[in-house]
């Protein structure tokens, strides 16, 4: 059993989630899921200790040794060598230029082989493997939420961050037209109504006379981004994730004919996708 299991972690700016993942079935062992708050502005020792504590809670649920640890981590980061390059982002400053692999291993109760992957890439890789899409030659991933994430997975290689959020678009960049703040800002401009997020706009204002205009503008920008990404990578297969992707059926209905040129899957595993993606580094 232990040969099938990988210890995984999804590390964000204020949290860590860890769990054991079965890399034969891509199932997360629910009893091993552990979540902890992380003060990413603290000193290096405190940060690493909080990670280790969360990981140890997951490991305590099984009686045998787990030799592999896969970590989904935001960038910039030298993932191959385990060195943090995060600076000027108001998080993990204390880890800058530290070999996180070595430092974390020194704290662990037993040695582990550690591999790291970008968090956006981990989402895509998790969805590819758990969604049985690993027979494709290439899959592109997009996350639509507070930010615009993009990643590329190719057969035989780990997924990686495509880093397209700031690609030029309409005298600005794509991210400014595809994320939550665009929806709330643009709806306020059109209607004079301020809402917290996309879900509230859709739930409360489907009958508003400006709602169709809002959706048409959004779908135009999203279609343009799909075309841009697809042309750049010569690939038409996409997995969409993030909070806005939950409204995909509505979004697609405004541009069905155009979107039909792509093969589009909606992510099924939400926050668990990154854990599965991190585990897949050992498949």
Model's pTM, two decimal places?
0.79
pLDDT at position 2 is 60
Domain annotation covers residue 131: no
Domain annotation covers residue 130: no
pLDDT at position 76 is 84
Find, among 90, 117, 104, 102, the residue nearest to 14 by Cα. Answer: 90
pLDDT at position 1 is 57
Does 255 lie in the same domain as 153? yes
pLDDT at position 172 is 95
The tally of domains found in the chain comes to 2
Does 7 lie in the same domain as 77? yes
DSSP the chain: -GGGEEEEEEE-SSEEEEEEEETTTTEE-GGG-EEEE--TTS-HHHHHHHHHHHHHHHHTTSSS---EEEEEE-SSEETTTTEE---SSSSSGGGTT-BHHHHHHHHSSS--EEEEEEHHHHHHHHHHHHTT-TTSSEEEEEEESSSEEEEEEETTS--EE---TT-EETTEETHHHHSHHHHHHHHHHHHS---SSHHHHHHHHTTSTTHHHHHHHHHHHHHHHHHHHHHHHT--EEEEESGGGGGHHHHHHTSHHHHTTSEEEE-SSTTHHHHHHHHGGG-
Report residues of the chain scoring pLDDT below 50: none
Does 260 lie in the same domain as 142? yes
pLDDT at position 269 is 86
Most distant pair of Cα atoms in the chain: their distance: 62
pLDDT at position 171 is 93
Other CB atoms within a 10 A radius of the CB of residue 68 amount to: 19
Q: What is the domain extent for residue 23?
A: 2-124+272-282
Q: And the tokens for 77?
A: 């980061």
Burial of residue 37, with CB atoms counted within 10 A of its CB: 0-12 exposed, 13-18 middle, 19 or more buried: exposed
In whole numbers, what is the pLDDT of the chain averaged over residues?
A: 93
Does 109 lie in the same domain as 151? no
pLDDT at position 147 is 80
pLDDT at position 271 is 76
Which residue is listed with tokens 């994430």?
A: 149
Q: And the tokens for 7?
A: 């210890």
- pLDDT tens for 115-138 read 999 888 999 999 998 888 989 999
**Domain holding 158: CATH number?**
3.30.420.40
Does 262 lie in the same domain as 142? yes
Q: And the tokens for 89?
A: 């982002």
């Amino acid at each position: 059993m232990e040969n099938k299991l990988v210890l995984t972690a999804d590390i964000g700016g204020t949290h860590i989630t860890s769990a054991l993942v079965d890399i034969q079935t891509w199932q997360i062992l629910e009893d091993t899921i552990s979540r902890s708050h992380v003060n990413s502005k603290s000193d290096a020792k405190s940060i690493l200790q909080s990670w280790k504590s969360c990981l140890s809670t997951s490991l305590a649920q099984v009686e045998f040794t787990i030799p592999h640890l896969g970590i989904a981590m935001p960038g910039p980061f030298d993932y191959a060598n385990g060195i943090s390059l995060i600076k000027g982002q108001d998080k993990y400053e204390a880890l800058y230029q530290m070999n996180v692999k070595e430092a974390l291993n020194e704290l662990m109760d037993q040695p582990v082989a550690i591999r790291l992957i970008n968090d956006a890439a981990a989402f895509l890789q998790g969805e590819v493997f758990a969604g049985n899409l690993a027979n494709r030659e290439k899959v592109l991933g997009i996350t639509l939420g507070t930010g615009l994430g993009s990643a590329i997975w190719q057969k035989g290689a780990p997924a990686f961050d495509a880093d397209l959020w700031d690609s030029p678009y309409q005298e600005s960049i794509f991210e400014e037209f595809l994320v939550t703040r665009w929806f709330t800002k643009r709806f306020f401009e059109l209607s004079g109504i301020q809402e917290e997020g996309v879900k509230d706009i859709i739930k409360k204002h489907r009958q508003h006379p400006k709602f169709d205009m809002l959706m048409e503008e959004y779908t135009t920008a999203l279609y343009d981004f799909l075309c841009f990404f697809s042309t750049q990578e010569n690939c038409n297969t996409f997995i969409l994730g993030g909070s806005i992707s939950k409204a995909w059926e509505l979004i697609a209905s405004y541009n069905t004919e155009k979107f039909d040129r792509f093969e589009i899957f909606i992510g099924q595993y939400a926050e668990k996708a990154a854990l599965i993606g991190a585990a897949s580094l050992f498949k």
